[in-house]
Amino acid sequence: MPNLIDIRRRIRSVRNTQQITKAMKMVSAAKLRRAQDRVISARPYAAVLHQMLSDLVGVLAADERLGANPLLAQRPENRILLLLLTSDRGLAGAFNSNLIKASQRFLEEHAGAEVTFVLIGRKGRDFYRKRRVPIRAEHIGLFARVDHKQAAAIAQDAIEQFRSREVDAVYVVNNEFKSVVAQKLAVSRLLPVEVPGGARPADYIFEQPPDQLLEALLPKFVEIEVYRAMLESAAAEHAARMTAMESATSNAAEMIDSLTLYLNRVRQASITKEIIEVVSGAAAAE
């Protein structure tokens, strides 16, 4: 028969774990609110900038200088730079494993290309450090407070590699925040920039040549896309951790109920056994 002290110790241990997961859920919920507000604020800016580029490309559609822009150059993707955005901490459900699996699928799909990694986040860094893959850079601790300067520095490094033809394309793998219970895994191409033109007629008066304006806007667009991807990933991480900790708290409550019921049954069986022994002893004494 199990020891009652061991069962009580098990219940106490599960209850302590439940308090930890509940506290982690509350912390993630508070952080999620701030991260969600930053994502929602960044999305309109990125959308308007993309629309401006679309209109500008539409105006320059017949201009030969459009194709001369290095950030729009289409080349065979023989060398690829992959930005993998994972979290710095675990306990977020399948958040990191899904990202790592997506990056591995990307490697399989581009088996004929040389893929170099930029690892943003500790979990992705720890995973690929043990694999023989070329790593361009590692960035740890950026998601504690996503900063535009850090995102711009990462984007500028990718732009310089693309301009100098060190790589032929730049991709980003991250989770996009949709809701508290839903995150969307996204694999998107940063460079060369895909800007659909001619969507609507536009009549502009330019204070500077349109090709120079495009040259200035394209790097800004890449920077804001990296910044937005980091904001999306941070919000998705907090949402995933909050959901995982809520599930863990509920599971702990169910385990406590089950162990308490089991404790009562064992205690009842022990009492019944003692009563039987007393009655049997009394009967034997007669």
Strand order in the sheet with 135-139: 135-139, 114-120, 79-85, 169-179, 182-191
C-alpha torsion angle, residues 66, 68, 69, 72 (rounded to 10) = 80
Output the pLDDT for position 153: 92
DSSP state letters, 47-101? HHHHHHHHHHHHHTTT-TTTTT-GGG-----SEEEEEEE--SS--STTHHHHHHH
- Is 60 exceeded by the pLDDT of residue 64? no
Q: Does residue 11 carry a pLDDT above 60?
A: yes
Residue 3 makes CB contacts below 8 A (sequence gap 6+) with none
The reported pLDDT for the residue numbered 227 is 92
Indicate the class that CATH gives domain 28-243.
alpha beta
Residue 143 is classified by DSSP as G
| pLDDT (tens digit per residue) in 94-117 | 889 999 999 999 999 888 889 999
Provide the token pair at 171.
Answer: 């991709």
pLDDT digits (tens, 9 = 90+) for 26-42: 998 888 888 888 888 88
Q: How confident is the model at residue 280 (pLDDT cuts 50, 70, 90)?
A: confident
For residue 117, what are the β-bridge partners? Answer: 82, 135
Q: What is the mean pLDDT of residues 85-89?
A: 91
The torsion angle over the Cα atoms of residues 14, 16, 18 and 22, rounded to 10 degrees, is -170
**Average pLDDT score over the chain:** 84
Question: Which residue is associated with the tokens 């150059």?
Answer: 73
**Residue 278: per-residue pLDDT:** 73
pLDDT in tens, 217-236: 888 989 999 999 999 999 99
Percentage of the residues of the chain whose pLDDT score is greater than 90: 23
DSSP state of 104: H
Say whether 169 sits in a helix, a strand or coil. Answer: strand
| Average pLDDT, integer, range 11-33 | 89
pLDDT given at position 66: 55
Q: Which two tokens stand for residue 151?
A: 């995102």
Q: Rounded mean pLDDT of 122-137?
A: 89
Find the mean pLDDT for residues 46-61. Answer: 76
Confidence band of 118 (pLDDT split at 50, 70, 90)? very high
Q: What is the reported pTM?
A: 0.83
- The model's pLDDT over 198-209, given as tens digits with 9 standing for 90+, comes to 555 556 677 777
Q: Residue 246 pLDDT > 80, yes or no?
A: yes
**Domain ranges within the chain, ordered by starting residue:** 4-23+246-285, 28-243
Name, in order, each residue with C-beta under 8 angstroms of 267's C-beta and a sequence gap of 6 or more.
Answer: 4
Contact of 239 with 64, CB cutoff 8 Å: no
By residue count, the chain amounts to: 286
Q: What is the mean pLDDT of residues 19-31?
A: 89
pLDDT at 174: 92
Fold entry, domain 4-23+246-285: Helix Hairpins (1.10.287)
Residue 63 CB-density burial (10 A; 0-12 exposed, 13-18 middle, 19+ buried): middle
Closest CA to 164 of 51, 66, 79: 79
Sequence-ordered list of residues with C-beta below 8 angstroms from that of 204, at least 6 positions apart, any chain: 55, 56, 59, 210
The Cα–Cα gap between 167 and 163 comes to: 8
